Amino acid sequence: MSALILALLAGAVTGLALGALGGGGSVLAVPALIYLLGLTPAAAATASLLIVSVSSGIALLGHAREGTVQWRRGVLFALAGLVPAAVGGAVSGRLPAGLLTGAFAVLAAVAAVRMLRPSAAVRDEAPVRRGRVATAGAGLGAVTGVLGVGGGFLAVPALVNVVGLGMRAAVGTSLLVVTVNSLVALAARAGAAVGVDWARIAPFAAAAVLAAWDGRRLAARVSAGSLRRVFAWTLLAVAAFMLADAVW
């Protein structure tokens, strides 16, 4: 199978995940860019940030039109995580790669299990608790800074379990958090020369953007409970793969 077809397929899957689930783009994009397109880890991380920021921004516009974005909570959540993310990024360079991968896998598995619990179905009408929103955002920022991932697939469980959003609102609001985090991280890497082949990345990015819009429409047609279960099982699969990679 040609590199072009692989790029289109991988980009489409990444975009669908972002549009429908509000996260998982970077978790899916980075391995695809490394194993399918042959990028180095550093180049894949930079390319992923660009792809995810554009794709999540497009999906965010669609969710905003449908009223599923909780702007006040989302902005507070995103802003609270900026400084912890920077500190976490500085700390991560001193930790073993295997430890980071293992910690990421365990955290993803815990988040998935919580999403599968019946109590995860929280109504959108839960009152705004600014302290809890800020605390959750700061914690997520620290975790994503240390582990080097945009954090959308962790933001959705946090928005559901901690902040008190329903699944649809969590998906829409997570896209705001993902867009902000990805743009900030991309700006921090702007001066780094990592040898990204943008001509090779362009089909991947284009497919991701188009699929992100379709993912948003898919989310509107599927029940919140189904979305939550799909998201949780996807998290468990990613966690199992990463844990195996860390151990072996």
Residue boundaries of the structural domains of the chain: 3-247
pLDDT score for 182: 80
pLDDT score for 121: 47
pLDDT score for 1: 56
pLDDT score for 122: 45
pLDDT score for 69: 92
Sign, CA dihedral 25-28-30-34, equals negative
55 Cβ partners below 8 Å, 6+ apart? 14, 15, 18, 19, 25, 205, 208, 209, 211, 212
CB 50 within 8 A of CB 186: yes
Residues of the chain with pLDDT under 70: 1, 3, 24, 92-93, 97, 118-129, 147-150, 189-195, 216, 219-220, 224
Residues in the chain: 248
